[in-house]
Amino acid sequence: MDDLSNTNDRQHADFLSLTEAATLRNGQFDIASLSEEERKKVQELAKQIEVKDSMSILQYGVGLQSEISRFSDTVLDHVRAKDSGEVGQALTELMLKVKEVDTDTLSGRRGGFLSKMPVLGSLVNSGKKLVAQYEKLGSQIETITRQLNKANAQLLKDISLLDTLYEKNREFVRQLDLYIAAGQLKLQELEREVLPELKRKAEASQDPADVQELNDMGQLINRLEKKIHDLILTRMVTIQSAPQIRLVQNNNQVLVEKIQSSILTTVPLWKNQLVIAIGLHRQKQALEVQKQVADTTNELLLKNSELLKMNAIGIAKENERGIVDISTLKKTQANLLETLEETLNIQRQGREKRRQAEAEIEKMQQELKDKLTMLALQRQNHY
């Protein structure tokens, strides 16, 4: 606000210095207020106005007005070429990129024992994601910063150029003052000396040629008055260009301040805060890893102790058992006795069956013997 007020005060002082470059009262310059060198220049310009040459009046100050017109075109082209919107867009894009990093979304979620390694992986991945995001945005911000640096350098050149344009504008006002003062000096000479003399001459001679000369002088004075008026208007337009130049220059200075603030303050602050965020995130990762290592260690110790308990009890029980259980021996003994008894029964049955078979065989042998004897006797009897 103070800078803007100082700029406005400066523009106001510049405008006053321009409007008071030469004293103008009721459309007339006070030649006495001019320097000796300026008064000589005014007198030389006044002498260049040829009253008998109509083209002299028409061309009076035209060269200076043309130069001012070209100068105005230069200022206009500069204003048209000045696209502060690009700088504003770059600054806006810079702010949006700075706000893109959201470290709150990069925290991992912990799970059970079987998900320890995935969680550790997610923590590492989130850290990599944060660094990758920083590198990507850092590259984009560096690109925008280079654009802003380039724009800043151009704006600084423009500010210097506008100073030159402003001084050129002041010089035009000074030259216009001299041309206007010279024209008014010549006009006073014509109105106070030449015109009254021609009027007396025409009235005395009543010669139409003298009357025409008087009329021509009146027309010439009228054209000179109009030319001086045009130069006064040109002077006013030139004076009005001064605050316009300063306004454009002030806008450039505001943009330079914003760019410098962004480059020298916002970007470094963002980088510092992001570095701190990365450090804190890595601390959180380390804490999570330490916690999970401790949890995993405790769970492993607990599970190993439970397994050790089960194994020790089982081994103790097996160690106290005999090689063969009594129940097994009883069952084996019963099976053995049953087998022996069954075997004896089978043997007795076998012996009995063998005696019966032997008796049957003996019987069959006797029957066969008796039969053969009988057959032998029958054959003997037949013979």
On the question of pLDDT at 129 being above 80, the answer is: no
H or E stretch including 136? Answer: helix 116-189
In whole angstroms, what is the distance from residue 34 CA to residue 175 CA?
A: 12
Asked if 145 and 13 sit in the same domain, the reply is yes
In 3D space, the residue among 148, 31, 168 whose CA is nearest the CA of residue 97 turns out to be: 148
Q: Tokens 């260009």 appear where? A: 241
Does the pLDDT at position 193 exceed 70? yes
Considering the domain architecture, whether residues 132 and 197 belong to the same structural domain is answered as yes
Pair (17, 109) in one structural domain: yes
- Can you tell me the mean pLDDT for 75-85? 59
Q: How many CA atoms lie within 13 A of 315 on its CB side?
A: 6
Specify the 3-state DSSP secondary structure of 18: helix
- Are 273 and 356 within one domain? no
Task: Please check whether residue 312 lies inside any domain of the structure.
Answer: no
On whether the CB atoms of residues 246 and 80 are closer than 8 A, the answer is: no
The pLDDT-based confidence of 56 (bands split at 50, 70, 90) is confident
Percent of the chain exceeding pLDDT 70 equals 73
22 and 121 share a domain? Answer: yes
45 and 117 in a single domain? The answer is: yes
The dihedral region occupied by 61, where left means phi > 0, alpha psi between -120 and 50, and beta the remainder, is left
Task: Taking residues 307-333, report their average pLDDT.
Answer: 78
Pair 335, 218 in one domain: no
pLDDT at 187: 86
**Is 238 domain-assigned?**
yes
DSSP 8-state class, residue 34: S
Between the alpha carbon of residue 21 and those of residues 33, 120, 177, 357, the distances in Å are: 9, 79, 8, 168
Higher pLDDT, 358 or 129: 358
Structural domain contains residue 310: no
Both 142 and 61 in a single domain?
A: yes
Kindly state whether residue 365 falls inside one of the protein's structural domains.
Answer: yes
End of a domain among 253, 281, 309? 281
Query: Domain ends where: 261, 281, 301?
Result: 281
Q: What is the mean pLDDT of residues 94-119?
A: 49
Q: Both 334 and 272 in a single domain?
A: no
Residue in 70, 79, 80 with CA at minimum distance from that of residue 238 = 70
Separation in Å, CA 345 to CA 28, 37, 70, 337, 350: 166, 166, 146, 12, 8
**CATH code of 69's domain:** 1.10.287
Query: Which of 25-34, 45-54, 204-213 has the highest average model confidence (pLDDT)?
Result: 204-213
In a domain, 321, yes or no: no
- The predicted pLDDT at position 96 comes to 67
Both tokens of 96, joined, read 């949006």
If asked whether residues 54 and 175 sit together in one domain, one would say yes
Task: State the pLDDT confidence band at 102, using cuts at 50, 70 and 90.
Answer: low
Whole-angstrom CA distances from 322 to 310, 319, 330 are 21, 8, 14
Residue of higher predicted confidence among 191 and 8 = 191
The count of structural domains within the chain is 2
Weakest mean pLDDT among 66-70, 115-119, 207-211, 377-381: 115-119
- The answer to the question of residue 220 being in a domain is yes
**In the structure, what pLDDT confidence band is assigned to residue 32 with cuts at 50, 70 and 90?**
low
With respect to residue 110, please indicate whether it lies within any of the assigned structural domains: yes
Asked if the model's pLDDT at residue 203 lies above 70, the reply is yes
Q: At which residue do the structure tokens 């030139």 appear?
A: 238
Tell me whether residue 308 is in a domain: no
Q: Which domain holds residue 369?
A: 327-378
Domain co-membership, 85 together with 205: yes
27: left (phi over 0), alpha (psi -120 to 50) or beta: left
**Whole-number pLDDT of residue 24:** 54
How many C-beta atoms surround the C-beta of residue 273 within 10 A?
A: 13
238 closest CA partner among 43, 5, 25, 22: 22
pLDDT greater than 60 at residue 168: yes
Which of the listed ranges 319-323, 328-332, 346-350 does the model predict with the highest average pLDDT?
Answer: 346-350
Name which of 41-50, 187-196, 338-347, 348-357 the model is least confident about: 41-50
| pLDDT-based confidence at residue 78 (cuts at 50, 70, 90) | low
Phi-psi category of 378—alpha, beta or left, where left has phi over 0 and alpha has psi -120 to 50? Answer: alpha
Structure-token pair, residue 144: 């925008």
Task: Give me the half-sphere count of Cα atoms (radius 13 Å) on the Cβ side of residue 37.
Answer: 2
* pLDDT above 90 coverage of the chain, percent: 0
Higher pLDDT, 122 or 310: 310
- Mean pLDDT (the chain, rounded): 75
Task: Give the integer Cα–Cα distance in Å for 169 and 234.
Answer: 12
Summarised one tens digit per residue, pLDDT across range 225-276 is 888 888 888 888 888 888 888 888 888 888 888 888 877 777 777 777 767 7
The residue among 248, 281, 314 that closes a domain is 281
pLDDT band at 76 (very low <50, low <70, confident <90, very high): low
pLDDT score recorded for residue 323: 64
d(C-alpha 23, C-alpha 20), whole Å = 6
pLDDT for position 19: 46
C-alpha distances out from residue 202 to 112, 214, 223, 287, Å: 123, 7, 21, 114
CA distances from residue 92 to 44, 87, 97 in whole angstroms, order as listed = 58, 9, 9
Residue 142 clears pLDDT 70, i.e. is over it: yes
